[in-house]
Amino acid sequence: MNDAPDALDVGPPHAATVVTRTQESPTIFTLRLRLDDPAAQAAYRFAPGQFNMLYLYGVGEVPISIMSDPEERDGIGHTIRAIGRVTQGLAALQPGDRIGLRGPFGRGWPLQEMGGCDVVLVTGGLGCAPVVSVIHYVLRRRERFGKLVIIQGVKHAEDLIWREQYDRWAKLPNTQVLVAASEGGALWPWHVGRVTDLFSLARFNPKRAVAMMCGPEGMMRSAADSLLAHRLPESNLYLSMERNMQCAVGRCGHCQFGSAFICRDGPVFNWGTVKTLLGHRGF
């Protein structure tokens, strides 16, 4: 796994400015942020899979994964669904508006351990956001990896964001893009059904593959069953988890899961370390 951040950023947050705002779907939007302190922005580094706490003035903080390219130096991207008190407020922000940001937090995807491997990414809904920086990472270092298989599922066809990117990735050599929607729609070019239906179409060498999952836990459990049935070694299966997080440094207790605080010890875990408890509702 990647190293945890050097120092715990318990706050106060850094002041940051919204640089661009992109509406991705009726409820999903992307904010590209820049820290107001140029030195802090220049020094900002993150590993794909890590998250930031975004602070909306007077309302509160939310944990949001970082979706931008880790090589990008002048902005930090977050793709957010407007669903709660803070995220609905964040949705109303426009370029030039100010927010607070602290992070990055947690441990990211095991990119160092993926060298030479086929990379299989299985995501559901907005679970694509914490994984898209892995796609950027792999595409920038294409020669270091084998096949890249991108599997994304959504409930409704209209929930799929980044359609053009999926189309673009699908045309790249050695790259496979498989998308499914439980409910299709007019002109839906991809599969109608569940993500797990797509595994029979995925072409990768399970013995030399690393799989990363992010999405609803039911989907990840089914996906894990399929991948392991395809003889992917359990040690090569990773997932990103989500729980209520308020401090982001393993103190507030909300994201305790077995022996871990997900914000600090995750959000990325090896499947083997969390599979038992994931089978029980309520943790």
User: How many other C-beta atoms can be found within 10 angstroms of the C-beta atom of residue 34?
Assistant: 19
Q: Please state, in angstroms and rounded to a whole number, the distance separating the CA atoms of residues 138 and 237.
A: 17
Task: Point out which residues pair with 133 in neighbouring strands.
Answer: none
Q: What stretch of H or E contains 132? A: helix 129-140
Where does this chain bind other proteins (CB under 8 A)?
A: 8, 10-15, 55, 57-61, 81, 83-84, 87, 96-100, 242-244, 246-247, 249-254, 256, 258-259, 261, 280-283
Nearer to other proteins, 58 or 173 (CB): 58
Answer whether 105's CB lies under 8 Å from 45's CB.
no
Our CB check for other proteins shows the closer of 140 and 283 to be 283
The angle, 0 to 180 degrees and rounded to 10, between the axes of the packed helices 129-140 and 163-170 is 30
Q: Which is nearer to other proteins, 60 or 193 (CB)?
A: 60
- Which of 29, 90, 22, 23 minimizes the C-alpha distance to 56? 90
**In the complex, minimum distance from the CB of residue 280 to other proteins, in angstroms, rounded to a whole number:** 5
Cβ proximity to other proteins, 35 vs 223, nearer residue: 35
Check: CB of residue 207 under 8 Å from CB of residue 116. no
Q: How far is the CB of 83 from other proteins (least distance, A)?
A: 5
Residue with Cβ nearer other proteins (90 or 150): 90
